[in-house]
Chain A
Amino acid sequence: MTTTTAAPAKQRSVRSALGSLLSGNGALVGLLVLCLALYIATPAFLTGPNLVNIGIQASTIAVLAFGMTFVIVAGGIDLSVGSVAALSAMGSAWIFTSAGLPGWMSIVAGLATGALAGAVSGLGVAFGRLPSFIATLAMLSVARGLTLVLSDGRPIATSPEVSFLGSRLGGVPVPILVLVVTGVIASFVLNRTVVGREMYAVGGNVEAARLSGIRVRKVLVTVFALAGVYAALAGMLLAGRLNSAQPQAASGYELDAIAAVVIGGASLAGGVGKVSGTLIGALVLAVIRNGLNLLNVSSFWQQVVIGLVIAIAVGIDVLRRKNTRH
């Protein structure tokens, strides 16, 4: 990566090489350093089964964060994804267990609930002119409340179709398959579709986007509805792993999802962000949690460490943007 050049230009070139390394792969470097440190610290870390565990444990946050990537790229924020995940999973379990409808419908109902909740937030942002922070803060509360109403505060058993999402298919954990497929789809939407490119345009400069003929409101509703669908899938993934939809599932996960997207190099100002970065961000969070368990670190200190890693990762992001400005 660091190619040596003539002596006078050497210092400058090392600096720019470091800059390009950080700008391209800041989060990836962080992830690799973290893995190396854990590999040295404990022999239990770098084993096949443990890496598979990390993949499974990263899946829920990763899927939520893929949805969040759309929103953040378009210049918004979605605080409701954890609650929407819980509501969708509960809706899907309720359709099957309490309403007695067939299992495949539970998946459809779950996804529809997520899309609906997301679209409502999106309508509030696009037509109600609410800041996305406020619209989705309201949805966070409404969706969690409806989850409790629907469940009466008790867990509900999931349908076999939802439980399948938490099982294995020919030895491969389904959550990892879902992570890969949803990641590829999210990347395709952002990079290869018109609406995806429009999300970058809206997030980069909403006025310029409007003047160039982009239907900003349509893009915003699409963005939040997509985040809702991804949240629904994440919720059902989590419920599937437990064979039960929990009333308090995924609470606080929105912050993990935002952290994953930002660690992955997206800017909260909008217009910047990649699905690959988000995946790395989600893996960083999963690796830290896994490593802290393996090392039996006290629960009091775990929260301190996780906070510091997020701060450092975002610090790298700021440093990187400074470098690219030269």
Chain B
Amino acid sequence: MCLGIPGEVVEIHPEQPDLAKVNVSGVKRLINIGLLSDDPPKPGEWVLIHVGFALSKIDEAEAAAAMAFLEGIGQAYEDEIAALRGSLIE
């Protein structure tokens, strides 16, 4: 029910602009983008899909920032473990 899945907008329906075709890992479906009418998505942009509607656009910059944080944590962790191992050699 909370199920929301990211999908890439492939094309806007030529006759019905509140419908768009999205691609989720190779699977395509028409969804309603009426809830994003203030800032409609364009082909190539990603949206969050819930029961046949796009609820929100996925902000790629924020996603990249989230990833960068997680990668940073990962790197810091690796550095720490390496440092720890280094100090055990003695």
Decide if A and B are genuine partners: no
